Amino acid sequence: MGAVNLETAPARLQVRNVSLRYPTPTGGTFVALDKVSLEVPDQQFAVIVGPSGCGKSSLLYLTAGLNEPTEGEIVVSGQRVTEPGPDRGMVFQGYTLFPWLTVRQNIEFGLKRRGMPPAQRQEVVDHYLDEVRLRPFADNFPKQLSGGMMQRVAIARALANDPQILLMDEPFGALDSQTRHQMQRLLLRVWEHAKKTVVFVTHDIDEAILLGDRVYVMGARPGRIRQIIDVPLARPRPEDVELAPEFIALKRQIVDLLHDDLHRIDP
């Protein structure tokens, strides 16, 4: 895939001055997100990292339309987000497949609901089964799959609906490190083919640098963007990119930022 010119590409996602506050049991207010703004250009792989509780998932849920900001607005493809919609696909950490449906039926679920004719449906599903290398398991049920395979189905299901943006909340968080690594590589390959805008939340700094074009480092209490870091590593990412001096330097920069934040909160 040709490099996207991040300076000129239109913003697929705009988060404008978004705050999220919750009432506390003692009558006060807890600020989960404080005036967060960011713009994700079309086809960018944006990663959000930050300490536990900094509001990463909250930001993703707001973008999905599963919750509303207290202030500010979220705009996807020029439309203000007010509710969930098929333009935003989601992949969560927990396995969210329909257990009573086969792999094929899970992937085609949204297409069927939209009334896509069976022949076209089969073509789309076969394409994504091949993309996530699950064609031999098309007629299996989720309980017959490993955790990594289930997440591959979840990715295929989200992409089959042809969303404008893919929202991923720690999708590999429950996997062992080897499977996680394989999944990261698989996601990169699928993303390079699908040319989708991705917003990916993770705790894992290596994962953030390996996957992202841009890393948004968040700080907590209140949740806000501390720094935006561009990842100038070549794509496709070389096999041993984690050992490259540029990779290690970025890791150092992000570790220092997160370390500062922890010390700022709990001196």
Ligand X SMILES: Nc1ncnc2c1ncn2[C@@H]1O[C@H](COP(=O)(O)OP(=O)(O)OP(=O)(O)O)[C@@H](O)[C@H]1O
Q: For binding to ligand X (CB under 6 A), which residues are involved?
A: 22, 30, 32, 50, 52-58, 203, 223
Provide the minimum distance between the beta carbon of 226 and ligand X in the complex, in angstroms, as a whole number: 13
Least separation in angstroms between CB 92 and ligand X: 11
Residue of 63, 61, 156, 169 lying closest to 109 (CA atoms): 156
Q: How many residues does the chain have?
A: 267
Closest CA to 49 of 190, 203, 209: 203
Q: How far is the CB of 99 from ligand X (least distance, A)?
A: 24
- Amino acid type, 41: P
Residue nearer to ligand X on the CB measure, 26 or 52: 52
- Cβ contact 164:197 at 8 Å: yes
47 - beta bridge partners? Answer: 200, 215
Between residues 92 and 247, which has the closer beta carbon with respect to ligand X? Answer: 92
Based on CB atoms, which residue is closest to ligand X, 61 or 191?
A: 61
CB of 243 to ligand X, least distance (A): 27
- Residue 32 CB, shortest distance to ligand X, in Å, is 4
For 177, phi then psi, to 5°, come to: -65, -35
Nearer to ligand X, 17 or 29 (CB): 29
Query: How crowded is residue 16: how many other Cβ atoms within 10 Å of its Cβ?
Result: 16
- β-strands 88-91, 165-169 pairing: parallel
